[in-house]
Structure formats: structure tokens, C-alpha cells
Chain A
């Protein structure tokens, strides 16, 4: 554990948002947590003053890095306080050991919403949907990140055409920006042909690192491309971060829908609301005769959504252009933003933004004392 007094003393040299009061006394500290030599600090500022506050943010980061034992520091500006029960800072403890909150940040610092894109079945186009959705959200003006949580079959590097390895700054990974989206994936760290052969605990620690030890900066939404199934990764994501919601991708085929139901049930178990269902590979229009074929049947996901009482977010056709652009490293939402397919993703993005902006139930306050 780092010396909290040393941290406070270091922050004392930084002026708060008013430019006079030292930061610890300015009441602007929204949250301060530390873990294994890394310090996460959030400063609450008026969104209108955010640009001016950047100097203060940088100064606080420099000050924290100067504290003995600090390996890395991340300071973010937020417009609202994290819903954290504030333990009394100067409470004198009568008990031998004062009850304490664990030093783990509740949410990922600086990230407003975390949305999981999941399915029960593999091969239904989760990663393609996640990539296009992230790009569409960015086109709507949101600051977006994409975390490829499929450690065994990472797709993000190919989808976004990424070749270079992410840089490390002060033991935080720097995500790579492509098509307006900050992308991180285990696939960026290993060769495309190299397999990841890991047991559960390794996967869990990798996911936690990809989530917390990446300098995401300020994000409106972090899209998480989940692996198929309901296993270690899904559980780790559900437990280590408060997810705002989940989007379920399914083909209309019964075989895929069965597992999609399992996915929905899993999210219900851990109180993660389902934002909606997307039907991928919904239909196929023959480029030669323009005839339409419902290869995997049609409307199955829509019916499932109605049955479960969750929104239906739209259908994406099975189309050569979507596959080609995905393999070429520039997803359709970025390659042909005015095209019909990109517009379908824009529609989904707008629905997601609407859903997220409507607000969710706040996390309960945990008060001690």
C-alpha cells in the first residue's frame, strides 16, 4: 500500500479548479483509489470548464508520479461524482480495525458506460457487429473505445487493420486509434497465428488488465466484444465492472437463438440489463437476380426479443460487402458510411445512445459508520 499522506501532500501542491485552493481541500476530488502502486484519481469539474482544467489534470498526474512507490498514475476529469459511498476521511476508528472499502475502482476511471456485445453462439458476427457499432457510435459524436475480450479468438486487430503493437506508458497500455475508435485487444500483443492457451485464472487476469490497465482516457462508451458462451470472461466482466447493459447478437436460426436465450438469462442473473437484440445475417439478397433468400430463416431474433420483452435493435443482412470490408480492416460503417448497411448500424447506435442516456438505476451507496 502506498502512503496516503504522501499522496495527499503531493496533491496539495496542485491548485484546484478555482486556481487557488489546493486540490485536496477544493472538494473536487471525486475518487482516489490505488492498487499495486497505481493511483487512479478523478477530479470533478464543470463540463464547460473541462478544457481549462486539463492543465490541472496534467499537474496532478505529474505530482502523483513523483510520490515514492507510485509506478503509474491516471487522473481523469469527470463531470459527475462516481456513485461511491464516501467513507469519512478523518473518522477516528474506535474499532481495532476500521471497516474499509476495498481499493478497487468501482467503474473504469473516465469511462461513462460499458456495453457488452455478446451472443450465446459463436460465429454469429458479434465482433463485426461490435466493431461497426463502435464506429457508428463514434460517428454520432461519442468518444468510444473497443475492448476485444475474446482472448482465444481476438478479431479486433484484423477488423480494424491494426499491425503495430500498443505502446506502454507508465505501465498502462495505450489503445490504438482506428476509424475514430480506441481499440485494445490481446491480438495486438501476439502474432496472428499464435494461439492463446490459457486456463481460467489467466483469462480472468488478462481481462481485468485489458479493462483497468489501459489508458482509455475519457470515454462516453466502451464497447466490449465478448467471446461466445457464458464462461470465465463473461463472469469476470460482469463482476469486475458495472456494465451499463448488454447487446445480444443472434442469427435468426433456432440453433443460435437457443444459446442467445442462455446469454440473456445469464445477464439477467447478474443484473445487467439487456439493451436489445440484433438479428445478424438476417437475409441475403442475391447480387445477380436480386432475389431474397432467408438462409437462416428470418425474424427469429425479433420474435425472441418480443417474447422476452427486450427491444429489437435491428437486422443486418448477410452481405458480401460487410464480409469484405471486415476482412480488409475497414468495417463497413467506416468504409461506406452513407451506405445502407452503415445506416443500419447508425440506427442501432442511436438506439443505444437513447437507451444509455435515459439513465439506469444508480448503484447503491455503501456507507460505513
Chain B
């Protein structure tokens, strides 16, 4: 059954004043994603038409914080970022993909 291969998170922890989201999966994997990287990776329709460079420019170089996390059914979360963006839905699978891609390090980005 396809369902068993699906990543299923056991815990999502938002730390560092909303700048870091750590996701633990039942596979034992754990990924730390910065809020900035999550904001850049949003799947929202209005952001998808922008190029990665345009998205960067939209956010600027200030640190990004998540101010709210709303669970969506059984399969996703919808975070609200401090710049007001709140239309991106992040499925468990997408979060695992982002984590595994390794494009995001566990380090905080407010340097």
C-alpha cells in the first residue's frame, strides 16, 4: 500500500522565536528547516509564478519568522509568516522532500 511509504511526522517544533522549524518523522529522520527557507519554498499559487530571485527580492535579507501554524486535515500545515504570507500549504511529503534535499541547513539565518 502506498500509504506506508508516506512520511508521517510525529512532531513539529518551532523554536528560536519562530525562525526554525524542526520536524521529526516516524522513520526516525529529523530535519531542521529555517523559516526563511520555508518561506522561499512556498507552494502558494501567487508565489509560484515568481522566479527564485524574485522571491528572494520580495523577502529581502531580513530574517523570517513563523508566527502561526495551522494544521490542515491529516496531511499538511499552513504557516503564517511575519511578512503576512499565509497561503502556502506544506504537506508532510513536501516537508520531507525539503529536508532530504539538504538544500536547507539547520543553522539559523539571522546573521
Contacts and interface: CB of A to CB of B under 8 A. Distances in A.
B50 interface: no
Interface string A331-369: 000000000000000000000000000000111111111
Given A99-B65, A101-B68, A273-B3, A369 B15 contact: yes
A271 interface: yes
A309 interface: yes
Interface stretch (B4-12, B40-48, B52-60, B100-108): B4-12
B3 A268 contact: yes
Contacts of B15: 369
Nearest to A245: B74
Interface residues of A, number: 33
Question: Chain A at the B interface: mostly helix, strand, loop or mixed?
Answer: loop
B17 interface: yes
Interface stretch (A15-23, A34-42, A233-241, A285-293): A233-241
Contacts of B68: 99-102
A319 interface: no
Nearest to A106: B71
A306 to B, nearest CB: 12
Contacts of B13: 366-368
Contact of A367 (B12, B66, B77, B92): B12
B12 to A, nearest CB: 5
Contacts of B69: 99, 101-102, 366, 368
A272 B76 CA distance: 12
Given A100-B67, A101-B68, A268-B3, A364 B12 contact: yes
Interface of A: 85, 94-95, 97, 99-102, 104, 106, 238-243, 268-273, 309-310, 361-369
26 contacts: A85-B12, A95-B18, A97-B82, A99-B14, A99-B67, A101-B69, A101-B70, A102-B69, A238-B75, A241-B73, A242-B71, A270-B73, A270-B75, A270-B76, A271-B91, A271-B92, A310-B1, A363-B71, A364-B8, A365-B12, A366-B77, A367-B11, A367-B12, A367-B13, A368-B18, A369-B14
Given A239-B72, A364-B10, 7 more contacts: A97-B67, A99-B65, A102-B68, A241-B73, A271-B75, A366-B69, A368-B13
